Structure 1
Amino acid sequence: MPLTIETVPCNFVGDFKVGDNLVYNSVVLSDLAQNNDEGRFNKMMSLQAGSIVEASMAEIVFRAQHYNREGVPNIVEADRQEIAGKKIDKFNNTIDVFRKYNMLNGMVGDIYDDLHVIRKFRNKVHIQDNINIAGVSRDEVVSFDRTRMEWIINKSYDIIIFLSENYSRPSGIAKFVGDLSLPHFEQCATGQNVKRFVGSSI
């Protein structure tokens, strides 16, 4: 499908170095996407996108835990205080916190289940491990095919857009790191096609 590189404000981060690294890694992801001849970077792009989403979501939790005076938009103060008391250091736990506090409500589909799918593919950085989704091949050429990669890239893009639009920091300090450069594929498979290629767990 046609590829575009979109500019997304990285206005939701609290830790400058994490934001700086997000900008760097988004450029790497876009470079991979623009040079993905014959799908040879499908796996690398899927891992990279998952890592960018994890770090982005973790920044929202970081702000909820540490930015007491500033607060976080779209998180009520009672929930922010409860999040502040949690130890959250894994992608799985971060997704579950977002689910508990309905932090991605308004996104299309079963977004929290989709995130767990992205997480499982992201974890395939460990070559010897299996992807624990029914029906997903152990053959990485098959499991990281173009359709699946495009779904991961587009879903990751949608999540980061949502974070940027709904969890931005106050306007005066929202742009203390550069913008993200994120790939996006037009007319990516959706609906039943997504269920077919990501496995029966969705």
Structure 2
Amino acid sequence: MAEIETIKCNFIGDFKVGDNILVNGKALCRLSSTNEGNTFNKLMVVQAGSIVEAALDQIIYRAQNYTTEGVPNIPADALKKIRDTEIERFNNIIQAMKTHKLLDGLGATIYDDLHRLRELRNRVHIQFDDKPKGLGRNDHDAFNGKNVVWSLDLCIKTLKHLSEKFPRPETLGVFSHDVSIPKN
């Protein structure tokens, strides 16, 4: 059985989304524990990508909707720009994060890494089997053990960063979720 990392996701602004992230984390752990013959590699990467997308979206959601509470570590001018922009879909969320330098603390390649995870996640749509470039069209090549471990690590690293950098006030901890992610 894979080792599990539990992250207190104290950045959640919408309880239902937090609940969904929690359920998807449990599903990801279950997939990992029963992944004989790498059968669930693709599903694990898809789950990890979906969790990251939902988590990043919570920062945008809070920036746009929590006008009284605000979001720590996002300057007022960036908050105004985020509030004035309709942001949706994984690609646009990543672009907004990059524009406002919200994930710069995760290293120079974080935005490219997130785009790569997005492209892998989007391979759930069978017709999108040509991205990321260089992985070929065979799912067993794209969703190899190395990419599963990489996607789980990126998921854990992103959730930890969001928890540390963009926490909600502790007094509002009711939306906090302890999310478990396998470390494989």
Q: Does TM-score exceed 0.5, indicating one fold?
A: yes
**What CA deviation, in whole Å up to 9, does each residue of 1:103-131 have, x standing for no partner?**
01111341000000000000011112223
2:146 match = 147
Deviates more, 1:162-171 or 1:134-143: 134-143
> Measured at CA, do residues 153 and 131 of structure 1 come closer, stay the same or move farther in structure 2, by a change above 3 Å?
farther
SS at match of 1:9: strand
Q: Over aligned residue pairs, what C-alpha RMSD do you find?
A: 1.3
Return the letter of the residue paired with 1:118. Answer: L
**What CA deviation, in whole Å up to 9, does each residue of 1:14-66 have, x standing for no partner?**
11100111111111011111111121110000000000000000000000001
Show structure 1 runs of 4+ deviating over 3 A: none
Does residue 33 of structure 1 match 2:23? no
Return the letter of the residue paired with 1:73. Answer: P
Matches within 5 A, 1:1-202: 3-185=2-184
Return the letter of the residue paired with 2:10. Answer: N
Q: Partners in 2 of 1:158 and 1:32 — Cα distance?
A: 20
SS at match of 2:4: strand
Q: Number of residue pairs matched? A: 184
**What CA deviation, in whole Å up to 9, does each residue of 1:87-109 have, x standing for no partner?**
11110000000001110111134
Contact 1:9-1:164 within 8 A present in 2 as well: yes
TM-score, length of structure 2 as denominator length: 0.95
Contact 1:13-1:59 within 8 A present in 2 as well: yes
Return the letter of the residue paired with 1:141. Answer: H
Contact 2:2-2:182 within 8 A present in 1 as well: yes
Q: Partners in 2 of 1:76 and 1:31 — Cα distance?
A: 39
SS at match of 2:123: helix
Higher relative CO (CA 8 A, sep ≥ 6), structure 1 or 2?
2
Q: Runs of 5+ in structure 2 lacking a partner?
A: none
